[in-house]
Structure 1
Amino acid sequence: MKPVTVGLIGCGNISAAYLRTAPMFPELAITCCADMNAEQAQRRATEFNLRATTVEALLADPAIEVVLNLTTPQAHVPVGLAAIRAGKHVHTEKPLATSTAEGRTLLEEAAKAGLRVGSAPDTFLGGAHQTARKLIDDGAIGTPLSGTAFMLNHGHEHWHPDPAFYYAPGGGPMFDMGPYYLTNLINLLGPVAHVIGATTSGFAERMVGSGPKTGEVIKVETPTHVTGLLHFVNGAVIAVTTSFDVWQHRHGNMEIYGTEGTIVVPDPNRFGGTVALAKRREPWADMPLSHGFADGNFRILGLADMARAIRSGRPHRCNGDVAYHVLEIMEAFGRSSDEGRTIPIESRCERPAPLPARSVLGDLD
């Protein structure tokens, strides 16, 4: 197939992971990059043999078919809308937006223009999570009934060079890491019907611990501990906690409990890991992985899938409907906590189509 031509906007920390992986996927041709910091764009361009340009010039380039939007969350929708108005498809880092109102505007404008919106995370396409999906679909644990999902740490300020946006509105552990967990749960179980949530903030301020801003104090303006229950359309109830207030813990990332057994799912922020299964009272067994994309960081896989979908006309897996559903769920935790009630989830999405069990590089259909 003819590669889809991509221009990257946002040359910060995560862009290197995307650009390192891009050459693995012949579906993609990333030709240029832009950033509001021209020096940063030039550094990435030199490092990965790209053309550095301005955002305005990138959007005006008729050769660019897709904008890969790796800006900070607060800029996802403004940059996405600019790309759509320039006639480009958009694939954005997570979350899709910082509010459902913004996310809805982005999807509506894209639909009017006949353009696609894609969104990270794509880790649920990794071999470990596709294996867990297949086991659940094949009835290995019977009917899913309940489960747990935990993302617990003490925030990113100890390693990230410029972490303030993690503690601004639209940040926090749910909007930062929640998309990995919620998207994978939708991959495994389908859409969510309603949410019960509670939120707190354990620390009023954070201090930057590395890089040029070491010692700077960040004001916390968003909840840093978010917990609650997801009631899925299929009847399963999953307890979820995401936190930047925890120093140490012993919880696993994700477990799903069914009528016939339990499955342990590895870190949704990774493509691989160990999937373990226990049938009723039988001992635990580590399961062989049925899918590829498990032995590395394939953090551009969702865009590669979207590129193939653009060429073939099929739906893409990391699509705007899934990302919007995740966004509404994340927003609902805060609403539930503030309003003291269960929040119905109005949107619905289809479970993304599973990858074929034979899936390897160059074979995503």
Structure 2
Amino acid sequence: MTAIVRVGIIGCGMVAEEYATTLAASPLVRLTTCADADPARADAFGGRHGIPATEPGSVLDPNIIDLAVILTPPHTHHALALEAIAARVPGVWSEKPLALTPGDVAQVVAEADTAGILLGAAPDTTLGPAFVTAHEAVRTGRIGTVLSATATLMSTGLKRWHPSPEPFYAQGAGPLGDMGPYYLAALDELLGPLQVHAATAHTRKVRTIRSGPAAGKHFTAQAPIHIGALLTSADGVPVTLTASFDAAATRTPRIELQGTRGALVLPDPNFHTGDVLFAEYGTFTWEPLPPTSGAPRMTGRGMGVIDLATALTQGTAPACTGARAARVAAVSDAILRAAARPHRALLTPPHQHGTAHAEGTTTIAKESTR
């Protein structure tokens, strides 16, 4: 491995610009090439960053790059990751999700392990100073023994501002598939592996685009748009997760942990920064925690790539592993399977199953992630 880790980006859309900005600030990595299914977009991206553009297949050459960064649409991640592993590129990083199904994620992880390829996967927001500070507060017992946790994503969805929101409502997407990995990865890091016990789902299927040239156009949501789930950690900590694209507004904390000595509120796990609030037991007064001494100064999407590059050069394990991506995928899949299986609710008469809703259904079920 050379002192400078050569990085090739596949997928030159909006998020690639954020990655390129973060990578440019690190002396460890150098962006050397890029590719996109749209050659014109790759050429434009390459021109902005002073690197050559090439075909997607040509990027995956260990003579050219040491680390492949996959930023293409989600349905392409599985095949591209396997292609990069087969080409023996030493390191492979994928935006979330690593693949659309737990089985495909497991395949990528297994192939990388067999080939001796270092595999990393988004989200990398758990490397940001906000999460590092929160994690340190939990690890050192600042809030005591964790008693419970809540994670809440309440959004109006993308139809209000995105000109082409349909892919975000497709099967496998929705609030759980699109934004859920940020919340589940944070909970996994804070509390350990999660188990799914129950889930509900509700979908208003007909959506209307609110901006751009297609404003007023109707489309059908394929993924559940409001999901509630009951999870537990390996230590038995109950976790309530809500993920919705049907919220008008909210003041609910994104992630909140309750402990025997105090409570902790984390900022939006979709971002690397923000205040971490702490309230000592019984005070009801929230104060921001100062950043821990180990918190990084540099932030931005692409921190995980730099961490993976560090692991490549130093022979260490990356922080945002494929194994974590596999656990997140398994939990997401278990939530959807639990929500899809009608089951008698505890507070309804024995002969009633589920509760009908306008344009959707609610179900309660138990589902294992194993």
Q: TM (normalized to structure 2)?
A: 0.88
Residue aligning to 1:114: 116
Q: CA deviation at 1:215?
A: 5.0
Residue aligning to 2:366: 342
Alignment of 1:130-145 (within 5 A): 130-145=132-147
Structure 2 unpaired stretches of 5+: 344-364
Alpha-carbon distance in structure 1 between the residues aligned to 2:250 and 2:83: 42
Residue aligning to 1:232: 233
Contact 1:72 1:165 in 2 (8 A): no
Query: Given residue 252 of structure 2, which amino acid in structure 1 is its aligned partner?
Result: H
User: Secondary structure at the residue paired with 1:343?
Assistant: coil
Once structures 1 and 2 are overlaid, which stretch shifts more, 310-319 or 285-294? 285-294
Q: CA deviation at 1:294?
A: 6.8
Q: CA deviation at 1:174?
A: 0.7
Query: Given residue 51 of structure 1, which amino acid in structure 2 is its aligned partner?
Result: P
Once structures 1 and 2 are overlaid, which stretch shifts more, 292-301 or 325-334? 292-301
Alpha-carbon distance in structure 1 between the residues aligned to 2:155 and 2:294: 29
Residue aligning to 2:280: 279
Query: Given residue 269 of structure 1, which amino acid in structure 2 is its aligned partner?
Result: N
Residue aligning to 2:302: 300
Once the two structures are superposed, residues 300-325 of structure 1 have per-residue CA deviations (whole angstroms, 9 ceiling, x without a partner) of 11110111101111110000001110
User: Secondary structure at the residue paired with 1:145?
Assistant: strand
Structure 1 unpaired stretches of 5+: 347-365
Query: Given residue 148 of structure 2, which amino acid in structure 1 is its aligned partner?
Result: S
Contact 1:271 1:293 in 2 (8 A): no
1:27 partnered with 2:28: yes
Residue aligning to 1:98: 100
Q: CA deviation at 1:296?
A: 6.8
Residue aligning to 1:157: 159
Alpha-carbon distance in structure 1 between the residues aligned to 2:28 and 2:366: 43
Q: CA deviation at 1:217?
A: 4.0
RMSD: 1.8
Q: CA deviation at 1:293?
A: 5.8
Q: CA deviation at 1:61?
A: 5.7
Alignment of 1:46-57 (within 5 A): 46-57=47-58
Once structures 1 and 2 are overlaid, which stretch shifts more, 261-270 or 217-226? 217-226
Alpha-carbon distance in structure 1 between the residues aligned to 2:129 and 2:198: 31
Contact 1:163 1:208 in 2 (8 A): no
Residue aligning to 1:349: none
Contact 1:194 1:232 in 2 (8 A): no
Alpha-carbon distance in structure 1 between the residues aligned to 2:54 and 2:210: 31
Alpha-carbon distance in structure 2 between the residues aligned to 1:216 and 1:19: 34
Residue aligning to 1:218: 219
Contact 1:229 1:238 in 2 (8 A): yes
Residue aligning to 1:126: 128
Once the two structures are superposed, residues 89-120 of structure 1 have per-residue CA deviations (whole angstroms, 9 ceiling, x without a partner) of 31000112111011111112212211122111
Alignment of 1:34-49 (within 5 A): 34-49=35-50
Q: TM (normalized to structure 1)?
A: 0.90
User: Secondary structure at the residue paired with 2:14?
Assistant: coil
Residue aligning to 1:311: 313
Contact 1:272 1:293 in 2 (8 A): no
Once the two structures are superposed, residues 175-218 of structure 1 have per-residue CA deviations (whole angstroms, 9 ceiling, x without a partner) of 111111111111211111334211121232342623x6555543
Alpha-carbon distance in structure 1 between the residues aligned to 2:298 and 2:246: 29
Once the two structures are superposed, residues 260-315 of structure 1 have per-residue CA deviations (whole angstroms, 9 ceiling, x without a partner) of 21111111111111111111112322211115667775111111011110111111
Alpha-carbon distance in structure 2 between the residues aligned to 1:208 and 1:176: 19
Contact 1:167 1:220 in 2 (8 A): yes
Contact 2:205 2:220 in 1 (8 A): no
**How many residue pairs are counted as aligned between the two chains?**
345
Contact 2:88 2:117 in 1 (8 A): yes
User: Secondary structure at the residue paired with 2:318?
Assistant: coil
Do the aligned partners of residues 60 and 217 (structure 1) sit closer, same or farther apart at CA in structure 2, a change above 3 Å counting? farther
